[in-house]
Amino acid sequence: MIAAAVAAFLILSPVPRVQAAEISAASAILMDGETGTVLYEKNAHEPRLIASITKLMTALVVLESGHDQKEEITVPSDWAGAEGSSIYLRPGEQVTLEALLYGMLLQSGNDAATLAAVACAGSVEAFAEKMNAKAAELGMKDSHFTNPTGLNDEGHYSTAYDMALLARACLENDTLAKIVATKSVALGGRVFTNHNKLLWQYEGCVGMKTGYTEKAGRTLVSAAERDGMTLICVTLNAPNDWADHAALFDRGFAGYESCLLAEEGEVLCRLPVSGGLAPFCGVSAGEAARLCVARGEEIQRELVLDQTALTAPVAQGTVLGEAVYRVNGEEKLRIPLVVITDVDCCLRTPSGWERFWDKIAGMLPG
């Protein structure tokens, strides 16, 4: 009944609309999820308290820990719970890691996050070290974690930009992406309902995570997909966060487009080959080329080759230069150009005398 009431509230209370210029957040960012291109920012590199959006990092570290989601964890007999939001774990109860993940991401259970962290690392402190190692791996240069819940701590902070980097990594993890996109689920005798109103009300929203403490204010990470483009929005200390995200998503989808310029392995040009079994060799994109640009902007491509003709043999994967992409004359992207397949040397054609003596040799007794 409680879950149904929460769902009804999320569905029936509309998200107000504001203009991007009226963003309430102290810090905010809008990022293209595919390329990492920043489309809007406001104090995006300013460290702040982040509250429960911390649990995106908690879940990612748990999922990468090697523990099975179906693993059953026994709540310690001396369990005293955790401060703040909770899924109300009971001492001696057995709960799966999967249920803890849904509990921390949908219902923002601090007890679920804490128990999962201890189960995967042995202690909150050891788990925090893993969180910081992952942050460094993702390039989150202005972040530091001391706990898996996001409860206020001077040493626990991040930025809108860093949290957008984390959100990109979360979307690349299929399991995590599935969980944050779930509106409601029943697991282990509990029903978890997603607190993210945008998931219910904004077209194309694929979820992520809400947060709040009195000191941090309202924090929110969300993502939305339309027409093959995924946008990530982060706001910190945003009194009107639902409207902030809707306005920034509207601005992003209306004003920008994601363009696939070349697929990995796509042949972009051909070069002549001397002494080879084939007269030409395909030169392909060494990786996919994608840009997020303002609608109507012209993209220019230049193929910068180290050589314009090849001599066999030529090995597949040999780097021959780069494809350079510019928007309005400004360089935006470089990708390597590589040989798409091996080109072997031609076999030498025998001379007339060689063919004559070969014929004579074939007539002699063995």
> What's the confidence (pLDDT) of residue 277?
86
Q: Where are the beta strands (DSSP E) in 124-228?
A: 184-187, 190-193, 205-213, 217-226
> What's the confidence (pLDDT) of residue 302?
97
Beta strands 94-96 and 72-74: pairing type?
A: antiparallel
86 is catalytic: no
- Check 27, 42, 55, 332 and give the catalytic one: 55
- Check 108, 143, 158, 284 and give the catalytic one: 108
> What's the confidence (pLDDT) of residue 354?
44
Q: How far is CA 239 from CA 120, 211, 213, 227, 364, in A?
A: 35, 12, 12, 30, 99
Q: Is the distance from CB of 52 to CB of 98 less than 8 angstroms? A: no
> What's the confidence (pLDDT) of residue 363?
52
> What's the confidence (pLDDT) of residue 1?
52
Q: Which stretches of the chain drop beneath a pLDDT of 50?
A: 4-5, 7-11, 15, 17-18, 349-350, 353-358, 361-362, 364-366
284 is catalytic: no
> What's the confidence (pLDDT) of residue 264?
96
> What's the confidence (pLDDT) of residue 347?
58
> What's the confidence (pLDDT) of residue 21?
57
52 is catalytic: yes
| Number of residues in the chain | 366
Dihedral angle, C-alpha 243, 246, 252, 257, nearest 10 °: 180
Q: Is the distance from CB of 148 to CB of 50 less than 8 angstroms? A: no
pLDDT in tens, 143-172: 999 999 999 999 999 999 999 999 999 999
**This prediction's pTM:** 0.85
Name the strand (E) or helix (H) holding 12. helix 2-12
- Check 52, 85, 158, 258 and give the catalytic one: 52
> What's the confidence (pLDDT) of residue 353?
46
